[in-house]
Amino acid sequence: MSAFREERIGDARLILGDCREVLPTLGRVDAVVTDPPYGIGLTGKRWHSTNRGKTIKSEITYQAYDDTSENFDGVVLPALRLALDLAKCGAVFMADRSIWRLPPFRALGGIYSPAGTGLGSWGFQCFMHCAFYGRDPYGCTRPNGRFGIYGNDANDVDHPCAKPVQAMLWAVNRASLEGCTVLDPFAGSGTTGVACARLGRRFIGIEVHEPYFDIACRRIEDAQRQRDLFIHAPVPVHPVETQIADLFAEEAA
């Protein structure tokens, strides 16, 4: 019997606990898809967009830990190594300032967001970087990036840095095939699990902070109820991605 609190929601298994302790109890998975803390001192949503041309001050902050360099080295990196050792492949979102500290990756991709994903020393950062590990489940026939994430539904989630669902839909779809088991050792508010429910993947999520864990359970349960609306529906592809994929196909021929 597990020493950790677990919730089973359809094809999703959610575990409340320190991922460094939980991961050694798990078996093999197909893919790791995660958006861990970046170790850059992020305190939370400093501003909240109303999508009407206005921003308001936000009070949402991390509650479980400080996003420090020490936390990144002592918690994030050991957990990522443990998780990636369990998987055939992985897709890990990471801030540009911390990419060089990740375990060595096979390729680097991501999402270009012209509106910006955060303010940096040279203006707004426009890339959601994603490090890829292991073997490409599609046999190296798809582009490693996409253009644009619109409709920032992350603002509606009570978490300081929830990823937009569209970002995780892309990452889950890129790093796994339908029916695969996807692991997120830093599940947070459960966006990876929501994407897995929509795309027909099994999900294992680990979260250390109970309030975020409860949010994840609710969101994934809602997504499981609606899953038939999404499974087998084509994932939208940007025209640039289609052109690149066609180019690969021509070269292979």
Give the CATH number for residue 125: 3.40.50.150
Q: What's the CA gap between 216 and 158, in Å, rounded?
A: 10
Residue 150 Cα distances to 147, 166, 168, angstroms: 10, 8, 13
Pairwise pLDDT comparison (204 vs 237), residue with the higher score: 204
pLDDT one-digit tens code per residue, 119-148: 777 888 888 999 999 999 999 999 999 988
pLDDT one-digit tens code per residue, 58-95: 555 555 557 788 999 999 999 999 999 999 999 999 98
Backbone angles phi, psi at 74, to 5 degrees: -90, -25
How does strand 118-120 pair with strand 123-125?
antiparallel
Q: Which residues pair with 108 in a beta bridge?
A: 131
Are 19 and 83 in contact, with CB atoms under 8 Å apart? yes
Domain count, the chain: 1
Q: What's the CA gap between 50 and 18, in Å, rounded?
A: 34
Question: What confidence category does residue 242 fall into, taking pLDDT thresholds of 50, 70 and 90?
Answer: very low
Q: Is the pLDDT of residue 46 over 60?
A: no
Question: What confidence category does residue 96 fall into, taking pLDDT thresholds of 50, 70 and 90?
Answer: confident
Burial (CB count <10 Å: 0-12, 13-18, 19+), residue 228: exposed
**Tokens 């303010």 sit on residue:** 119
Q: Residue 155: in which H helix or E strand, if any?
A: none
Q: Calculate the average pLDDT of the chain.
A: 82
The boundaries of the domain holding residue 236 are 5-252
